[in-house]
Protein backbone atom coordinates (compact mmCIF):
# COMPACT_ATOMS: atom_id res chain seq x y z
CA UNK A 1 0.00 0.00 0.00
CA UNK A 2 1.37 3.45 -0.93
CA UNK A 3 0.51 6.88 0.47
CA UNK A 4 -2.16 8.51 -1.75
CA UNK A 5 -1.11 11.71 -3.56
CA UNK A 6 -2.80 15.06 -2.77
CA UNK A 7 -3.97 15.57 -6.38
CA UNK A 8 -5.57 12.14 -6.57
CA UNK A 9 -7.38 12.74 -3.27
CA UNK A 10 -8.74 16.06 -4.55
CA UNK A 11 -10.05 14.35 -7.68
CA UNK A 12 -11.75 11.55 -5.76
CA UNK A 13 -13.28 14.07 -3.32
CA UNK A 14 -14.52 16.20 -6.24
CA UNK A 15 -16.02 13.20 -8.07
CA UNK A 16 -17.87 12.00 -4.97
CA UNK A 17 -19.03 15.43 -3.82
CA UNK A 18 -20.43 16.24 -7.27
CA UNK A 19 -22.65 13.16 -7.25
CA UNK A 20 -26.33 13.88 -6.58
CA UNK A 21 -26.49 11.60 -3.52
CA UNK A 22 -23.44 12.96 -1.67
CA UNK A 23 -23.27 16.60 -2.79
CA UNK A 24 -24.39 17.86 0.64
CA UNK A 25 -22.20 15.53 2.72
CA UNK A 26 -19.38 17.05 4.79
CA UNK A 27 -16.26 17.41 2.61
CA UNK A 28 -14.17 16.63 5.66
CA UNK A 29 -15.81 13.20 5.94
CA UNK A 30 -15.52 12.50 2.19
CA UNK A 31 -11.82 13.43 2.32
CA UNK A 32 -11.13 11.22 5.35
CA UNK A 33 -12.70 8.21 3.62
CA UNK A 34 -11.07 9.06 0.26
CA UNK A 35 -7.63 8.97 1.89
CA UNK A 36 -8.30 5.48 3.23
CA UNK A 37 -9.75 4.14 -0.03
CA UNK A 38 -7.01 5.61 -2.24
CA UNK A 39 -4.47 3.78 -0.12
CA UNK A 40 -6.30 0.53 -0.89
CA UNK A 41 -7.21 1.06 -4.59
CA UNK A 42 -4.78 1.98 -7.34
CA UNK A 43 -7.33 3.32 -9.83
CA UNK A 44 -9.20 6.52 -8.98
CA UNK A 45 -12.38 5.09 -10.50
CA UNK A 46 -12.26 2.17 -8.06
CA UNK A 47 -11.53 4.51 -5.16
CA UNK A 48 -14.53 6.70 -6.07
CA UNK A 49 -16.77 3.63 -6.10
CA UNK A 50 -15.37 2.41 -2.78
CA UNK A 51 -15.85 5.84 -1.14
CA UNK A 52 -19.49 5.91 -2.30
CA UNK A 53 -20.05 2.42 -0.88
CA UNK A 54 -18.58 3.46 2.46
CA UNK A 55 -20.67 6.65 2.53
CA UNK A 56 -23.78 4.62 1.83
CA UNK A 57 -23.14 2.61 5.00
CA UNK A 58 -22.15 5.64 7.08
CA UNK A 59 -24.90 8.08 6.10
CA UNK A 60 -26.73 7.12 2.91
CA UNK A 61 -28.71 4.12 4.08
CA UNK A 62 -30.78 5.57 6.93
CA UNK A 63 -33.39 7.71 5.18
CA UNK A 64 -36.40 5.90 3.77
CA UNK A 65 -36.93 7.69 0.45
CA UNK A 66 -35.94 11.28 -0.25
CA UNK A 67 -36.21 13.49 2.86
CA UNK A 68 -39.07 15.98 2.38
CA UNK A 69 -37.67 18.76 4.55
CA UNK A 70 -39.89 21.59 3.23
CA UNK A 71 -43.09 19.59 3.74
CA UNK A 72 -42.03 18.42 7.23
CA UNK A 73 -41.09 21.94 8.28
CA UNK A 74 -44.39 23.36 7.07
CA UNK A 75 -46.36 20.75 9.04
CA UNK A 76 -44.29 21.41 12.19
CA UNK A 77 -44.68 25.21 11.86
CA UNK A 78 -48.43 24.76 11.44
CA UNK A 79 -48.63 22.54 14.54
CA UNK A 80 -46.59 25.04 16.58
CA UNK A 81 -48.98 27.83 15.53
CA UNK A 82 -51.94 25.69 16.62
CA UNK A 83 -50.29 25.35 20.05
CA UNK A 84 -51.52 21.75 20.23
CA UNK A 85 -48.98 19.24 21.69
CA UNK A 86 -50.75 16.27 20.07
CA UNK A 87 -50.59 17.91 16.63
CA UNK A 88 -46.91 18.76 17.16
CA UNK A 89 -46.02 15.18 18.07
CA UNK A 90 -47.97 13.96 15.03
CA UNK A 91 -46.08 16.33 12.69
CA UNK A 92 -42.67 15.39 14.15
CA UNK A 93 -43.58 11.68 14.22
CA UNK A 94 -44.54 11.77 10.52
CA UNK A 95 -41.01 12.91 9.62
CA UNK A 96 -39.33 10.56 12.12
CA UNK A 97 -40.94 7.61 10.32
CA UNK A 98 -38.68 8.37 7.33
CA UNK A 99 -35.38 7.71 9.11
CA UNK A 100 -34.68 4.14 10.19
CA UNK A 101 -33.34 5.04 13.65
CA UNK A 102 -36.21 7.26 14.75
CA UNK A 103 -38.74 5.02 12.99
CA UNK A 104 -37.66 2.12 15.20
CA UNK A 105 -37.68 4.34 18.31
CA UNK A 106 -41.18 5.74 17.83
CA UNK A 107 -43.07 2.74 19.32
CA UNK A 108 -40.97 2.98 22.51
CA UNK A 109 -40.44 6.73 22.58
CA UNK A 110 -42.57 7.52 25.66
CA UNK A 111 -40.65 5.02 27.79
CA UNK A 112 -37.31 5.79 26.15
CA UNK A 113 -37.35 9.49 27.00
CA UNK A 114 -39.55 9.13 30.09
CA UNK A 115 -37.00 6.91 31.81
CA UNK A 116 -33.79 8.14 30.34
CA UNK A 117 -33.92 11.93 30.14
CA UNK A 118 -35.21 12.70 33.62
CA UNK A 119 -33.84 14.97 36.30
CA UNK A 120 -32.34 17.63 34.04
CA UNK A 121 -32.16 21.05 35.70
CA UNK A 122 -33.26 24.33 34.05
CA UNK A 123 -30.54 25.84 31.83
CA UNK A 124 -29.17 22.40 30.97
CA UNK A 125 -27.29 21.93 27.73
CA UNK A 126 -27.87 18.84 25.60
CA UNK A 127 -25.56 17.48 22.89
CA UNK A 128 -26.91 15.13 20.24
CA UNK A 129 -24.08 13.42 18.35
CA UNK A 130 -24.77 12.00 14.87
CA UNK A 131 -28.30 13.18 15.49
CA UNK A 132 -30.19 12.19 12.33
CA UNK A 133 -33.81 13.23 12.97
CA UNK A 134 -33.61 12.61 16.74
CA UNK A 135 -34.01 16.33 17.64
CA UNK A 136 -37.60 15.91 16.40
CA UNK A 137 -38.12 13.81 19.55
CA UNK A 138 -37.89 16.96 21.72
CA UNK A 139 -41.71 17.08 22.13
CA UNK A 140 -41.41 13.72 23.99
CA UNK A 141 -38.40 14.69 26.12
CA UNK A 142 -40.19 16.72 28.82
CA UNK A 143 -37.27 19.12 29.00
CA UNK A 144 -37.05 21.75 31.74
CA UNK A 145 -37.06 25.52 31.12
CA UNK A 146 -34.36 27.23 29.06
CA UNK A 147 -32.68 24.09 27.79
CA UNK A 148 -30.23 24.56 24.95
CA UNK A 149 -29.58 21.87 22.36
CA UNK A 150 -26.62 21.37 20.02
CA UNK A 151 -26.59 18.59 17.46
CA UNK A 152 -24.09 17.36 14.88
CA UNK A 153 -24.39 15.40 11.66
CA UNK A 154 -22.64 15.26 8.32
CA UNK A 155 -25.40 16.15 5.85
CA UNK A 156 -25.86 19.88 5.12
CA UNK A 157 -29.49 19.43 3.99
CA UNK A 158 -30.37 17.80 7.32
CA UNK A 159 -28.50 20.50 9.24
CA UNK A 160 -30.37 23.34 7.46
CA UNK A 161 -33.67 21.60 8.19
CA UNK A 162 -32.85 21.14 11.89
CA UNK A 163 -31.86 24.81 12.29
CA UNK A 164 -35.17 25.86 10.71
CA UNK A 165 -36.96 23.38 13.03
CA UNK A 166 -35.31 24.86 16.16
CA UNK A 167 -36.36 28.35 15.02
CA UNK A 168 -39.95 27.19 14.41
CA UNK A 169 -40.05 25.53 17.84
CA UNK A 170 -38.61 28.60 19.60
CA UNK A 171 -35.86 26.39 21.04
CA UNK A 172 -32.36 27.61 21.75
CA UNK A 173 -30.89 25.03 19.38
CA UNK A 174 -28.02 24.83 16.97
CA UNK A 175 -27.35 22.15 14.35
CA UNK A 176 -23.81 21.95 13.01
CA UNK A 177 -22.24 20.16 10.04
CA UNK A 178 -19.40 18.28 11.67
CA UNK A 179 -17.48 15.05 11.23
CA UNK A 180 -17.24 14.08 14.91
CA UNK A 181 -14.48 11.53 14.15
CA UNK A 182 -11.94 14.17 13.08
CA UNK A 183 -13.53 17.03 15.03
CA UNK A 184 -15.10 15.64 18.23
CA UNK A 185 -16.98 18.07 20.49
CA UNK A 186 -15.32 18.96 23.80
CA UNK A 187 -17.58 21.81 25.01
CA UNK A 188 -19.21 21.16 28.41
CA UNK A 189 -22.78 19.79 28.35
CA UNK A 190 -25.23 18.42 30.93
CA UNK A 191 -26.21 15.39 28.86
CA UNK A 192 -24.83 13.87 25.66
CA UNK A 193 -27.10 11.75 23.46
CA UNK A 194 -25.02 9.23 21.51
CA UNK A 195 -27.76 7.17 19.96
CA UNK A 196 -27.03 4.27 17.60
CA UNK A 197 -24.05 6.12 16.18
CA UNK A 198 -20.95 4.43 17.66
CA UNK A 199 -20.87 1.45 15.24
CA UNK A 200 -21.07 3.96 12.36
CA UNK A 201 -18.13 5.98 13.71
CA UNK A 202 -16.08 2.80 14.15
CA UNK A 203 -16.66 2.05 10.46
CA UNK A 204 -15.01 5.38 9.60
CA UNK A 205 -12.04 4.87 11.90
CA UNK A 206 -11.22 2.04 14.26
CA UNK A 207 -12.11 2.82 17.92
CA UNK A 208 -13.41 6.30 16.98
CA UNK A 209 -16.51 5.68 19.13
CA UNK A 210 -14.56 5.02 22.33
CA UNK A 211 -12.30 8.04 21.69
CA UNK A 212 -15.37 10.24 21.19
CA UNK A 213 -17.01 9.10 24.44
CA UNK A 214 -13.81 9.57 26.45
CA UNK A 215 -13.45 13.14 25.13
CA UNK A 216 -17.02 14.32 25.81
CA UNK A 217 -17.27 16.84 28.66
CA UNK A 218 -20.68 15.65 29.87
CA UNK A 219 -21.37 14.15 33.32
CA UNK A 220 -24.23 12.12 31.83
CA UNK A 221 -24.37 10.29 28.52
CA UNK A 222 -27.18 8.31 26.97
CA UNK A 223 -25.54 5.77 24.66
CA UNK A 224 -27.49 3.27 22.60
CA UNK A 225 -27.01 0.52 20.05
CA UNK A 226 -29.41 -1.00 17.54
CA UNK A 227 -30.80 -4.36 18.65
CA UNK A 228 -30.48 -5.61 15.06
CA UNK A 229 -28.76 -4.64 11.80
CA UNK A 230 -30.24 -2.33 9.13
CA UNK A 231 -31.45 -5.33 7.14
CA UNK A 232 -33.17 -6.69 10.25
CA UNK A 233 -30.73 -9.57 10.77
CA UNK A 234 -29.68 -10.23 14.40
CA UNK A 235 -26.24 -11.89 14.02
CA UNK A 236 -25.44 -11.37 17.74
CA UNK A 237 -24.45 -7.83 16.90
CA UNK A 238 -26.24 -6.22 19.84
CA UNK A 239 -24.47 -8.54 22.30
CA UNK A 240 -21.09 -7.69 20.76
CA UNK A 241 -21.70 -3.92 20.90
CA UNK A 242 -22.99 -4.11 24.47
CA UNK A 243 -20.06 -6.22 25.68
CA UNK A 244 -17.52 -3.85 24.11
CA UNK A 245 -19.26 -0.81 25.56
CA UNK A 246 -19.50 -2.34 29.05
CA UNK A 247 -15.78 -3.20 28.96
CA UNK A 248 -15.01 0.44 28.07
CA UNK A 249 -17.31 1.73 30.84
CA UNK A 250 -15.64 -0.62 33.32
CA UNK A 251 -12.14 0.52 32.36
CA UNK A 252 -13.21 4.19 32.68
CA UNK A 253 -15.09 3.51 35.96
CA UNK A 254 -18.35 4.92 34.59
CA UNK A 255 -21.60 4.02 36.33
CA UNK A 256 -24.01 2.44 33.89
CA UNK A 257 -27.72 1.69 33.98
CA UNK A 258 -28.90 -0.53 31.13
CA UNK A 259 -32.39 -0.59 29.68
CA UNK A 260 -33.18 -3.03 26.91
CA UNK A 261 -35.96 -2.26 24.48
CA UNK A 262 -37.07 -4.50 21.60
CA UNK A 263 -35.34 -2.32 19.00
CA UNK A 264 -32.58 -0.62 20.99
CA UNK A 265 -30.23 -1.24 23.90
CA UNK A 266 -29.65 1.90 25.95
CA UNK A 267 -27.05 2.73 28.59
CA UNK A 268 -27.39 5.73 30.86
CA UNK A 269 -23.87 6.64 31.93
CA UNK A 270 -22.92 8.79 34.91
CA UNK A 271 -19.34 9.89 35.50
C1 LIG B 1 -27.79 5.22 12.79
S2 LIG B 1 -28.00 6.93 12.54
C3 LIG B 1 -28.50 7.44 14.17
C4 LIG B 1 -29.28 8.73 14.17
C5 LIG B 1 -29.74 9.24 15.55
N6 LIG B 1 -28.65 9.31 16.49
C7 LIG B 1 -30.81 8.34 16.10
O8 LIG B 1 -30.51 7.41 16.84
O9 LIG B 1 -31.99 8.59 15.79
C10 LIG B 1 -26.32 7.49 12.47
C11 LIG B 1 -26.22 8.99 12.19
O12 LIG B 1 -24.85 9.39 12.36
C13 LIG B 1 -24.52 10.30 11.33
N14 LIG B 1 -23.05 10.24 11.16
C15 LIG B 1 -22.33 9.26 10.56
N16 LIG B 1 -21.02 9.55 10.61
C17 LIG B 1 -20.90 10.72 11.27
C18 LIG B 1 -19.78 11.53 11.60
N19 LIG B 1 -18.55 11.16 11.29
N20 LIG B 1 -20.00 12.69 12.27
C21 LIG B 1 -21.28 13.08 12.58
N22 LIG B 1 -22.37 12.34 12.28
C23 LIG B 1 -22.19 11.19 11.62
C24 LIG B 1 -25.28 9.79 10.12
O25 LIG B 1 -25.43 10.78 9.12
C26 LIG B 1 -26.61 9.39 10.78
O27 LIG B 1 -27.53 10.48 10.82
pLDDT in tens, 185-230: 999 999 999 999 999 999 999 999 999 999 999 999 999 999 976 6
pLDDT of residue 3: 56
Cβ atoms < 10 Å from Cβ of 73: 19
For the chain, the first-to-last Cα distance in angstroms comes to 42
- The domain 6-60 having CATH identifier 3.30.930.10: the answer here is no
The number of CA neighbours under 13 Å toward the Cβ of 12 is: 30
**Measuring from atom 13 of ligand 1, which residue has the nearest CA?**
130
Q: What percent of the chain has pLDDT over 70?
A: 95
Nearest to 88 by CA among 107, 72, 68, 66: 72
Q: Are strands 172-177 and 264-270 parallel, antiparallel or unpaired?
A: unpaired
- Indicate if ligand 1 lies below 6 Å from the C-beta of 155: yes
Q: What pTM value is reported for the model? A: 0.94
Confidence of residue 114 (pLDDT cuts 50, 70, 90): confident
Alpha carbon distance 119, 140 (integer Å): 15
- Indicate if ligand 1 lies below 6 Å from the C-beta of 162: no
Confidence of residue 6 (pLDDT cuts 50, 70, 90): low
- Indicate if ligand 1 lies below 6 Å from the C-beta of 193: no
pLDDT tops 90 at residue 150: yes
SS3 label, residue 51: helix
234 CA from centroid of ligand 1 (Å): 20
197 CA from centroid of ligand 1 (Å): 5
Interval 73-101 mean pLDDT: 97
- DSSP readout, 199-257? HHHHHHSTTHHHHHHHH---SEEEEEEESS-TTS--TTHHHHHHHHHHHHHHHHT-EEE
pLDDT tops 70 at residue 234: no
CA dihedral 241, 247, 252, 254 (to 10 degrees): 70
Q: Which fold has domain 101-270?
A: Rossmann fold (3.40.50)
- In terms of Cβ atoms closer than 10 Å to its own Cβ (0-12, 13-18, 19+), residue 188 is exposed
Q: With contact defined as beta carbons under 8 Å apart, do 72 and 228 qualify?
A: no
Q: With contact defined as beta carbons under 8 Å apart, do 212 and 144 qualify?
A: no
pLDDT tops 60 at residue 262: yes
Q: With contact defined as beta carbons under 8 Å apart, do 111 and 261 qualify?
A: yes
Q: Which of 67, 153, 183, 241 to mutate to test the pocket of ligand 1 (most atoms within 8 A of CB)?
A: 153
Q: Which residue has the higher pLDDT, 116 or 48?
A: 48
pLDDT tops 80 at residue 233: no
Interval 222-240 mean pLDDT: 79
- Indicate if ligand 1 lies below 6 Å from the C-beta of 196: yes
Domain boundaries, the chain: 6-60, 101-270
Cβ atoms < 10 Å from Cβ of 116: 18
Confidence of residue 231 (pLDDT cuts 50, 70, 90): low
pLDDT of residue 12: 97
Q: What percent of the chain has pLDDT over 90?
A: 86
- DSSP readout, 76-140? HHHHHHHT-HHHHHHHHHHHHTTBHHHHHHGGGHHHHHHHHS-SPPTT-EEEEET-TTGGGGGGG
Amino acid sequence: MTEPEGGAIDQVVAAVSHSAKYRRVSLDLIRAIAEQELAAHRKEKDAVKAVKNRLHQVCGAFFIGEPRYATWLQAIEHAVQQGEPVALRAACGEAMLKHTSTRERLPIIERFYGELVEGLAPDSHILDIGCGLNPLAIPWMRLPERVSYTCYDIDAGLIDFLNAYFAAMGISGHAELRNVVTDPPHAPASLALVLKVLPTLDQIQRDAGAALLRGLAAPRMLVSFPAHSLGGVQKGMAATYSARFLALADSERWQVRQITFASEIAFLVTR
